[in-house]
């Protein structure tokens, strides 16, 4: 597994003996861990969560006098404003610092202001993480005063800080000077329509911006409309997250008007935005022009059969689409049929989420007709769709044709013992199946026995979830052979 250390020491760490590593750790502080030399002078440091501020300051001060600190992770250590002032003094000695993570430290606007004064002295700073720090507009302004001096800044994360529209505006005024900025996370920062409008300039002026997260900010149609003006001029934007904003059908239309110009867009998340059928249709009409689009999520939007039909009409144009999220909408049997008709044209589709819709047994049957033609499908979630035993049976009829299927979610469908039995026969033919979710399906010990028999032929199965069923001790016993080679959950 890649660790924080491996990121910075892929080659030379192997040349250090355990004794050298131990000596170095003890030479800094017993509370500072994961310190490894990249070469003779560069080190990366990760402080153990909960380390007191004085220990951090003392250890970092000693270390910075011996070597160039290039990466520093001090997240979750309750440094707060007073500690930030003392930390700033030491950071001034770290001229080679490229990665700084101070997330979840309660810095507040005052603490960030104290730190900001020295950030301009770190010309190599490329990654700055200030998530969960209680920063408000004043702190964003203090930060903005020095960001223009951080010529190497590529990643700025202000997740869950209440900077508001004013803070967004003060940041926007200088972020255009950060020519290297590629990643900007303003998730849940309360910027609203006004803040979104102010960020439009950032999209126009940051030629390297590839990742923008504005989810959970209360941005409506007006805000997304103002933002859209900049989106159309952002040639490098590949990842756009507007989840949980309530842009509505009107906002979807304004966004649609410029999406065709976003040639690099690969990831678009518009979950829980009250978009509806009309908005889905307007988006569908232009998304086919986004040749790089690989991930599209429209879950939680109240999209019904009409919206699904609009999307289905153009899905075949999405040559790169690998992930389609339509969970928790109002799609029924008719919409499922429309989608099924084009699944065979989606050559790259690997992940299909229709969880929490209204497919029913009829919809499952209609969808099944197209699933067998989707050769690349690896992940299918049909949980909470009122499939029942009949729907499970219709689905089972084609599962054997889904050669790549690795993850199947059918939780909350009341399939019972009969449905479990019909699935079991088909699932044994799914050579790639690794994860099966059958939670909350009223399956008893008889269904468990049938699953044990069918899944016994599924050599790749690694995880089976049967929580919130009625299996009982007898069912658990029947599944014992399966538990010897895969994880089975019952509670």
Neighbouring-strand partners of residue 43? 37, 69
Q: What's the pLDDT at 18?
A: 44
Q: How far is CA 316 from CA 32, 270, 338, in A?
A: 54, 20, 12
Domain assignment present for 74 = yes
Average pLDDT, the chain: 90
Residue at token pair 């966004």: 255
In a domain, 192, yes or no: no
Q: Is 94 a member of any domain?
A: yes
CATH number at residue 65: 3.80.10.10
Residue 401: Cβ within 10 Å count:
16
Per-residue pLDDT tens over the stretch 112-137: 999 998 998 888 999 999 999 999 99
How far apart, in whole angstroms, are the C-alpha atoms of residue 48 and residue 409?
37
In angstroms, rounded to a whole number, what is the distance separating the alpha carbons of residues 166 and 184? 17
Q: Is residue 245 part of a domain?
A: no
Rounded mean pLDDT of 234-258?
A: 96
H helical segments located in 288-345: 305-315, 333-343
In a domain, 136, yes or no: yes
Grouping H, G, I as helix, E, B as strand and the rest as coil, residue 483 is: helix
Torsion region of 49: left, alpha or beta (phi above 0 gives left; psi -120 to 50 gives alpha): beta
Residue 408 phi/psi, 5° resolution?
-130, 120
Checking if the pLDDT of 148 tops 60, the result is yes
Structure confidence at residue 3 (pLDDT): 31
Looking at residue 58, its pLDDT comes to 82
Residue ranges making up the domain that contains 56: 1-150
Number of domains composing the chain:
1
d(Cα 157, Cα 129) in Å, to the nearest integer?
A: 5
Report pLDDT digits (tens) over 411-435.
999 999 999 999 999 998 899 999 9
Cβ neighbours of residue 386 closer than 8 Å, sequence gap 6 or more: 358, 359, 360, 361, 413, 414
pTM of the predicted structure, to 2 decimals: 0.91
Q: Which residue has the higher pLDDT, 232 or 160?
A: 160
Half-sphere exposure of 19 (CA within 13 A, CB side): 0
Q: What percent of the chain has pLDDT over 90?
A: 76
- Count CB atoms within 10 A of the CB of residue 210: 20
- Examine residue 35 and state whether it is found in any structural domain, yes or no: yes
- Structural domain contains residue 399: no
pLDDT band at residue 106, thresholds of 50, 70 and 90? very high
Kindly state whether residue 465 falls inside one of the protein's structural domains. Answer: no
Interval 273-286: pLDDT, tens? 999 999 999 999 99
Query: Minimal CA–CA distance to 326: which of 290, 295, 361, 371?
Result: 295
């Amino acid at each position: 597994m890649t660790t924080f250390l491996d990121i910075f020491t892929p080659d030379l760490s192997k040349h250090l003996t355990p004794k050298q590593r131990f000596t170095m750790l003890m030479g800094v502080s017993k509370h500072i861990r994961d310190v490894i030399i990249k070469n003779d002078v560069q080190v990366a440091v990760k402080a153990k969560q909960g380390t007191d501020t004085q220990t951090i300051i003392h250890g970092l001060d000693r270390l910075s006098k011996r070597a160039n600190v290039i990466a520093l992770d001090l997240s979750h250590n309750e440094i707060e404003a007073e500690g930030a002032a003392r930390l700033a003094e030491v950071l001034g000695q770290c001229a080679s610092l490229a990665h700084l993570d101070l997330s979840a430290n309660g810095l507040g606007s005052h603490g960030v202001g104290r730190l900001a004064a020295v950030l301009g002295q770190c010309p190599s700073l490329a990654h700055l993480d200030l998530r969960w720090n209680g920063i408000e507009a004043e702190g964003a302004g203090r930060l903005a005063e020095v960001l223009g001096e951080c010529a190497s800044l590529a990643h700025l994360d202000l997740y869950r800080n209440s900077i508001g529209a004013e803070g967004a505006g003060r940041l926007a005024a200088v972020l255009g000077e950060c020519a290297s900025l590629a990643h900007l996370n303003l998730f849940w920062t309360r910027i609203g329509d006004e803040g979104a409008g102010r960020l439009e300039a950032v999209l126009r002026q940051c030629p390297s911006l590839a990742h923008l997260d504005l989810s959970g900010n209360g941005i409506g149609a007006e805000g997304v409309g103002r933002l859209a003006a900049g989106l159309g001029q952002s040639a490098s934007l590949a990842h756009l997250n507007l989840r949980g904003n309530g842009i509505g059908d009107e906002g979807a239309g304004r966004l649609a008007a410029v999406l065709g110009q976003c040639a690099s867009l690969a990831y678009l998340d518009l979950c829980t935005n009250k978009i509806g059928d009309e908005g889905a249709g307007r988006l569908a009409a232009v998304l086919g022009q986004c040749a790089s689009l690989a991930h599209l999520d429209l879950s939680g939007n109240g999209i019904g059969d009409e919206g699904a039909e609009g999307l289905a009409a153009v899905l075949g144009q999405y040559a790169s689409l690998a992930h389609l999220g339509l969970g928790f909408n109002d799609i029924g049997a008719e919409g499922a049929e429309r989608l099924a008709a084009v699944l065979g044209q989606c050559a790259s589709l690997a992940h299909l989420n229709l969880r929490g819709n209204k497919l029913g047994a009829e919809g499952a049957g209609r969808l099944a007709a197209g699933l067998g033609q989707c050769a690349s499908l690896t992940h299918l979630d049909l949980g909470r769709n009122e499939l029942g035993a009949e729907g499970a049976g219709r689905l089972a009829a084609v599962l054997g044709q889904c050669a790549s299927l690795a993850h199947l979610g059918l939780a909350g469908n009341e399939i019972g013992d009969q449905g479990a039995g019909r699935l079991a026969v088909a699932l044994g033919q799914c050579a790639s199946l690794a994860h099966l979710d059958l939670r909350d399906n009223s399956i008893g010990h008889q269904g468990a026995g049938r699953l044990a028999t069918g899944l016994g032929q599924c050599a790749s199965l690694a995880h089976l979830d049967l929580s919130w069923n009625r299996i009982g001790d007898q069912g658990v016993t029947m599944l014992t052979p399966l538990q010897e080679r895969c994880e089975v959950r019952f509670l």
